[in-house]
Amino acid sequence: MAGIGIVIEKSFQPGRCRLKELGYRVESLARIASLDNGEAAFLEL
């Protein structure tokens, strides 16, 4: 199985789901839940 490493993932966009649907393993060091008012809200890993 192939995998993709991402440093900062924008989880509010569909990229991760698309890659997983194609069969890739996705690993991120940090995941951003939103970018409201110019501030990043991070998801807990």
The predicted pLDDT at position 2 comes to: 86
Please write the tens of the pLDDT for every residue from 1-29: 789 999 999 999 999 999 999 999 999 99
Confidence band, pLDDT 50/70/90 cuts, at residue 34: very high
Exposure string for 27-40, b = 16+ CB within 10 A, e = fewer? ebeebbeeeeeeee
- Nearest to residue 6, comparing CAs of 23, 22, 25? 25
pTM: 0.79
Q: Which domain holds residue 22?
A: 3-42
Instruction: Indicate the number of domains in the chain.
Output: 1
The predicted pLDDT at position 44 comes to: 87
